[in-house]
Amino acid sequence: MYLLPYILESKLSGQSEFTSQTLWLFLAERGKAVWQTDEEGELTPSFVINEYFTPNEIYGNIRHFTKDICLFEVDCMKTRIEDFWTWLDEKAKEDDIVWRPFFMIQGKDNYAWEKQAEKHMLGTFGSVQQIWEILLSKPSG
């Protein structure tokens, strides 16, 4: 199962029709691949929280859960983000799980963004665009 803890920050750009969004993903291999469970088969939401998120002191809510993927919205008030490495930290090793940002400018036409996001692959998971599509289709809250 793919585990995708995330933080989504949105900012309206002044008087413009555009919104800038920063999607922070907790990724394996120093930001190059999606974090995965060690177990195979169907897992329950409580198992994933108790075996993966809580021991790593990542707190929040599941926003999307299937047999293949768990999209987990991180609560920044409870999770000490500063205790984790980002993908640019020099101390992070190649196999570390780190926070990595992805940026999107959202307006009337997202064609240019989608083409770039489709090209950026995250290991065996697929593209960043696939994550954005799940997030945009699921209301958080």
The pLDDT profile of the chain, 141 residues, written as one tens digit per residue, is 999 999 998 776 667 777 778 889 999 898 889 999 988 888 999 999 999 999 999 999 999 999 999 999 999 999 998 888 788 777 878 888 888 988 877 666 555 566 667 777 888 888 888 888 888 775 544
Model pLDDT, residue 52? 96
The confidence score (pLDDT) of residue 80 equals 92
Rounded-to-integer distance, Cα 67 and Cα 53, Å: 17
> Would you say 91 and 106 are in contact if contact means Cβ atoms under 8 Å apart?
no
The pLDDT of residue 13 is 66
The CA–CA distances, whole Å, from 32 to 19, 60, 97, 105 equal: 26, 23, 9, 22
What is the residue extent of each domain of the chain?
A: 2-137
Q: What is the pLDDT of residue 134?
A: 83
What residues form DSSP beta bridges with 12? 19
Please name the residue ranges forming H helices in the chain: 45-48, 111-119, 128-137
pTM for the model: 0.82
